A and B are shown apart, each in its own frame.
Chain A
């Protein structure tokens, strides 16, 4: 048992380290292409080792703790954010049969735990004893509490249609077609709302008010340096991966290959592609979409942000829930 724990722990930490390197590289390359630049191109072939070099630099840097800060909370905050991102990995299904913990309330667990990360952010902002940090943290609190609602409603649509909270049964329920294909309008609306809400929940542009470089220097992690800053940075990208993995599981069929009809040649070819490739492909596609948002849209003001949630996303998702329930009862999906 203990050895299993150790193996899983090492795998997750390894996955996190890889994700940090790969996603930051991807972000920089995607943004470069969108802005007609080259992006990092000095370290290694095509700049591939740039993030490795950056991480190395952050590791050897001193992790300063400001004099006026609440030392304990200040030092513990990055770990809370990090641990939350790691815990959400537990019920995810990475490939056929590859799951750490198939808990029967999987998706509820994910939704519940993901809102804990705001405590880490608030902790960091408060303990820094810096007005910019505190402002950023408060904004982050308001933002995550608001957008949790519509993300929850979007998840609820799939839960209603599947009739189960267990991740493995949600994936199994899509064996004859992903929800995005067989769910019609309610699932399309839920998918769009989910993507918007999780972009806000992970504090990414255009909803990056918690950081807002031009207004708050760096928001809640203004006072952090070295490895403690790197943990926040890593947690941001780990969170993106996690929410995109959840999106892929709920709407794009998890590890299920793309099938049309039954027993056709096309389906057989698709079955040859390993399930982990399907899962990662879908997840990285969604990550690309979130990066696409970031490098296209300007940042919203705080009132616009809350307007968008309370006046548009929330009413639409409430209406959408009704529609999805009606559809589930009448069996209009196939």
Chain B
């Protein structure tokens, strides 16, 4: 019957609203020690950033100053706003063959939107997102970064 359904609707609405209010009311009235926000400048030493936090693109190097970047430019193509520019060179190998390698991995932090597409595009996991986030500088040129360290070369077997 119409009127029964109407009353049921009203009671159901009141009940579901009360369920929602119980949650927020519980948070407000009970004392929650744990706050989900971090008091940033105060807790610089104990700051916790989740693993998936995207601060800037970095290229990890191992102890032999070797990286995994082949210079395939997949990241450069994947980037929606031309943040990455890869300058390649050709190394002459001992057997006389030429091999493509990166000369400069230029990363424009000021253009980056931290969309993670370059990291997903990389076939060799040569780049990753770091958790640094205090990026303010007084000169814009400092935001243009060369990610491969000077003298570094590609790791064997990649």
Interface status of B21 (Cβ within 8 A of chain A): yes
Tell me the chain A residues, 63-78 only, with Cβ under 8 Å from chain B. none
Q: Which of B10, B14, B25, B34 is close to A36, meaning CB atoms less than 8 Å apart? A: B34
Contacts of A296 in B (CB 8 A): 17, 20-21, 23-25
- In the complex the two chains form, what is the Cα distance from A197 to B89 in whole Å? 72
Q: Of A1-9, A27-35, A248-256, which binds chain B?
A: A27-35
Chain A residue nearest to B34 in the complex (CB):
A36
- A residues 251-296 near B (Cβ < 8 Å) are 292-293, 295-296
Say yes or no: A295-B32 contact (C-beta < 8 A), given A37-B37, A38-B37, A312-B10. no
Contacting residues of chain A (125-139) with chain B, CB-CB under 8 angstroms: none
**Which A14-71 residues have C-beta < 8 A from chain B?**
30, 33-38, 41
Q: Which residues of chain B come closer than 8 Å to A12, judged between CB atoms?
A: none
B39 within 8 A of A: yes
B133 interface hit (Cβ, 8 Å):
no
Interchain nearest-CB distance for B124 vs A (Å): 41
B31 CB to closest chain A CB (Å) equals 9
CB A291 to nearest CB in B, in angstroms, measures: 9
By a CB distance below 8 angstroms, the chain B residues around A30 are 28
| Distance from A19 Cβ to chain B, minimum over Cβ atoms (Å) | 21
Q: Bound state CA distance, A33 and B35, in angstroms?
A: 9
Residues from chain A with Cβ under 8 Å of B35 in the complex: 36-38
* Closest chain B CB from A148 CB (angstroms): 21
A316 touches B20 (CB 8 A): no
Residues in chain B near residue A38, CB distance under 8 A: 35, 37, 39
Q: How far is the CB of A253 from chain B (nearest CB, A)?
A: 23
Instruction: Determine whether B2 belongs to the interface, using a CB cutoff of 8 Å to chain A.
Output: no
Q: Are B27 and A292 in contact (CB under 8 A)?
A: no
Q: Is B158 an interface residue (CB 8 A)?
A: no
- Chain B residues whose CB sits within 8 angstroms of the CB of A34 once the complex forms: 24-25, 27-28
The interface centre, meaning the residue of A30, A33, A192, A295 with most chain B CB atoms within 10 A of its CB, is A33
Chain B residue at minimum C-beta to C-beta distance from A308: B13
Q: Let me know if A36 and B20 touch, CB within 8 A.
A: no
The answer to the question of A334 belonging to the interface, with a C-beta cut-off of 8 Å to chain B, is no
Other contacts beyond A33-B28, A41-B39: 7, CB < 8 A? A30-B28, A33-B32, A37-B37, A292-B24, A293-B21, A296-B17, A297-B17
